[in-house]
C-alpha cells in the first residue's frame, strides 16, 4: 500500500513530468478526489503525466490488461494555468471513475459503450460521459 503523509492509500498514484509545484498540486488534488469520490474503490493504479506533447488539455485512458482492468493513464497539458490544470485533472478523474464502475468501455475495434448503449457515433458534445465529466469537474476541483 502506498503511503502519503503517513496515510495508507487504497489506490496508487504515480505522477510524472511537469514542474515540481505542478506535481505537488496535482498529487494533493488527486488524493483529495480519491478520498472524497473513490472511497469504495480498491487497488486502482492511476498514472498521471504532465506534458505538452498533446494538444488537448487532458486525456484519460484505461489500460486494458485483460485481467482486472484497474490501471488508468491520465495525460494533462502542463502549459495551462494551474487552476485549469486542476480542473482538467478533476474532469479526467470523473472518467477514471466511469471506467472503474464499468460505465464506459472503449474497445479496440473503436466501439464506445456507455451503460450498455453503443455511442460509437455520438458527437463529443452529446457523449453522456463527457456531459457528466463537464458537470462534475468544477465541484471535484474544489474538493
Report pTM.
0.87
Averaged pLDDT of the chain: 88
CATH code linked to domain 3-141: 3.40.390
Tell me how far CA of residue 35 lies from CA of 39, 54, 64, 116, in angstroms: 6, 29, 24, 28
Phi then psi for residue 124, to 5 deg, are -50, -50
Label the pairing between strands 3-4 and 7-8: antiparallel
So where are the chain's domains?
3-141
- Separation CA 8–CA 5 (nearest Å): 9
Tens-place pLDDT, residues 37-86? 998 888 899 999 999 887 688 988 877 655 456 889 999 999 999 999 99
Amino acid at each position: 500500500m502506498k503511503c502519503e503523509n503517513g496515510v495508507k492509500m487504497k489506490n496508487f498514484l504515480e505522477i510524472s513530468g511537469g514542474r515540481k509545484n505542478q506535481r505537488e498540486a496535482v498529487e494533493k488534488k488527486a488524493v483529495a478526489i480519491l478520498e472524497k469520490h473513490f472511497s469504495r474503490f480498491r487497488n486502482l493504479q492511476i498514472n498521471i503525466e504532465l506534458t505538452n506533447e498533446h494538444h488537448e488539455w487532458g486525456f484519460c485512458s484505461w489500460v486494458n490488461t485483460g485481467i482486472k482492468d484497474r490501471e488508468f493513464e491520465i495525460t494533462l497539458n502542463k502549459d495551462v494555468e494551474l487552476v485549469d490544470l486542476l480542473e482538467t485533472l478533476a474532469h479526467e478523474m470523473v472518467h477514471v471513475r466511469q471506467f472503474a464502475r464499468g460505465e464506459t468501455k472503449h474497445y479496440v475495434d473503436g466501439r464506445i459503450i456507455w451503460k450498455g448503449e453503443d455511442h460509437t457515433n455520438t458527437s463529443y458534445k452529446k457523449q453522456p460521459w463527457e456531459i457528466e465529466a463537464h458537470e462534475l469537474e468544477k465541484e471535484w476541483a474544489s474538493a
